[in-house]
Amino acid sequence: MKNSNHGLLRESASIIMIMQRTLDPLIVVLTLFLLALTYDIEYSTQHIILSVTSFLLVLPIFKAVGLYKPYRSLSPATLGARLFTGWISLLGVLLFLGYITQTSAQFSRSLLLSWSLVVPIVLLVLHLSVWKILRQVRATGRNQRSAVIAGINDVSQHLAHQIQESPEFGICLHGFFDRQDLMPQSLISKGPIAQGPMHQSPAQVAKFPGRQLIGDLADLPRYVQQHSIDVVYIACTTEQEDAIATLIKELQDTTACVYFVPNILMFNLMHARSYELNGIPLVAVWEVPFSEIQYAFKRGIDILLSVLALIFLSPIMAIIALAVKLSSPGPILFKQRRYGLNGQEILVYKFRSMRVTEDGETVKQATKNDSRITPVGSFLRKSSLDELPQFINVLQGRMSLVGPRPHAVAHNELYRKLISGYMLRHKVKPGITGWAQINGYRGETDTLDKMQQRINYDLEYLRNWSLSLDLQILIKTALVFLRDQNAY
């Protein structure tokens, strides 16, 4: 379980980044308006159209040039270059639109020239301010990410040195793991690596960051789980191909972000987003599929639609609550522990549909003609009306409208041992509906193959996530549920 304060600090940093992305289009529009006032130019319909068009284009164009990639490893020069590239691209699009609509002559040349020069300067000041604030926050030990490195060699030592010398990156390096039978004797003889037992606390291990051999490569996944490690850098040599394959497979049972420090083997394995840390290239193996601004949009949609759903469905929910209460003894709501974002336990609400409320070490899935299901519960489960209280979970921030369906903790602990990559589905919030559900994998999964197929769809959703895909899933969900007979 992640430390709550650690999570709050990281969420605060994300809020800062979201606010900055919100300000970008507002600054573009506000600057045009203020310059028009300065030049005593009437803010006409054409200026309003220009403002609206610019407002809509800023975020997608800036995102396309990489301006909104994580700031941890960006230099001011790179940040400035991306900002000016995005602004010039935006001006190019606006000039093209003005040309084809023959409206460019309707604007004051002085106004447009001033706007073109002032906006990038203001935006650069804003972005550099955010960049500096975040670096200062991380340098003071807040909003940090814990990390370990797999492999001890020149590349990994250089990476560790960069992390140690750059506290503004906000990375707390615990130490190294490597196959001790293959570890270079030159490193051992020089004594830069101190052997550390697996039971050490993070504070003890981090005493000599970048200089601590925590354990053998085989111990790494267990250490990641025990100490809630956020990031694993894999810098093993090509001679350790089998060890790397085993390590990757076992790390799928964690929620850590995993990066390769590139080598020849990497190019045969990966097609993912890349980053760099002071010139050292990194490739994301597993990562949250959306950026902060995309998350903000997704969260905004969740809040809006769940509020509307609870308002319009409240009469139906009141009738269901009364029917559940009168039909059988027990609580109206069934609260079950399930795994949420990053594998944290959450309580998921449903209208009680059974005479029992199982939430222990063993949870038996509902089956056809299950004697535990009440008559009212049978109707609720077939119509999926028992899921309506989960809109409350969405409002709480525990769930999303769309995402992998959460499973009972007992089922998670069973299937994470049987299905490779099972825990990766927890890199996002669980959903009321998901890609697997609209493709027929809803209800009981009575065989391992069915669960494997459901997980395959969940991981496909993560690889191809977009807001439009979420909308597509929401639209199809109603159609699937109307004809689906898998739930009972």
Residue labelled with tokens 């460019």: 104
Question: Which has more confidence, 345 or 78?
Answer: 345
* CATH code of the domain containing 193: 3.40.50.720
Alpha-helix residue ranges (DSSP H) falling in 348-400: 375-383, 390-396
Verify that 242 and 337 share a domain, yes or no. Answer: no
**pLDDT tens digits for 189-246?**
344 444 444 444 343 333 334 457 888 888 999 999 999 899 999 988 767 778 888 8
Verify that 207 and 277 share a domain, yes or no. Answer: yes
User: Domain boundary at 91, 111, 139, which?
Assistant: 139
Verify that 280 and 398 share a domain, yes or no. Answer: no
pLDDT at 488: 44
Q: Within a domain: residue 476? A: yes
Cα of first residue to Cα of last residue in the chain, in angstroms, is: 33
- Separation of alpha carbons 267 and 343, rounded Å: 30
Verify that 339 and 457 share a domain, yes or no. Answer: yes
Cα 332 to Cα 198, 320, 325: the distances in Å are 46, 9, 6
Verify that 158 and 188 share a domain, yes or no. Answer: yes
Contacts of 62 (CB under 8 A, 6+ apart): 24, 68, 82, 83, 86, 90
Q: Do residues 346 and 339 touch, judged by C-beta distance below 8 A?
A: yes
Verify that 328 and 181 share a domain, yes or no. Answer: no
Write the burial class of residue 329 (CB in 10 Å: 0-12 exposed, 13-18 middle, 19+ buried): exposed
Verify that 303 and 448 share a domain, yes or no. Answer: yes
pLDDT at 398: 93
- Separation of alpha carbons 108 and 263, rounded Å: 54
Rg (CA), the chain: 26
- Separation of alpha carbons 336 and 375, rounded Å: 21
pLDDT at 310: 94
DSSP 3-state helix, strand, coil percentages of the chain (rounded to 5)?
55, 10, 30
User: Domain boundary at 286, 316, 347, which?
Assistant: 286
User: Which region among 286-295, 383-392, 422-431 has the lowest average model confidence (pLDDT)?
Assistant: 286-295
Q: Within a domain: residue 57? A: yes
Average pLDDT over residues 142-167: 83
Q: Do residues 487 and 477 touch, judged by C-beta distance below 8 A?
A: no
Verify that 227 and 310 share a domain, yes or no. Answer: no
**pLDDT tens digits for 319-374?**
999 999 888 888 899 888 899 998 889 999 999 888 766 555 555 565 555 667 88
Verify that 317 and 404 share a domain, yes or no. Answer: yes
Verify that 312 and 393 share a domain, yes or no. Answer: yes
**pLDDT tens digits for 416-442?**
889 988 998 998 999 999 999 888 887
pLDDT of 282 > 70? The answer is yes
Cα 329 to Cα 349, 352, 365, 370: the distances in Å are 18, 10, 21, 18
Residue 36's pLDDT band (cuts 50, 70, 90): very high
pLDDT at 290: 79
Average pLDDT over residues 286-297: 79
pLDDT of 102 > 60? The answer is yes
pLDDT above 90: percentage of residues in the chain: 28
DSSP state of 433: E
pLDDT at 142: 67
**pLDDT tens digits for 243-279?**
888 898 899 989 899 988 865 444 444 445 677 777 7
User: Which region among 128-137, 373-382, 399-408 has the lowest average model confidence (pLDDT)?
Assistant: 128-137
Q: Within a domain: residue 183? A: yes
pLDDT at 360: 52
Q: Within a domain: residue 339? A: yes
pLDDT at 133: 78
Verify that 208 and 341 share a domain, yes or no. Answer: no
User: Domain boundary at 139, 159, 186, which?
Assistant: 139
**pLDDT tens digits for 312-321?**
999 999 999 9
**Residue 173: closest CA among 235, 115, 113, 102:** 235
Average pLDDT over residues 468-487: 74
Structural domain count of the chain? 3
Write the burial class of residue 100 (CB in 10 Å: 0-12 exposed, 13-18 middle, 19+ buried): exposed
Q: Within a domain: residue 488? A: no
pLDDT at 71: 63
CA 312 to chain centroid = 30
pLDDT at 233: 93
pLDDT of 56 > 70? The answer is yes
Q: Within a domain: residue 176? A: yes
Q: Which domain holds residue 240?
A: 145-286
Verify that 263 and 303 share a domain, yes or no. Answer: no
Q: Which of 53-67, 366-380, 433-447 is most confident?
A: 53-67
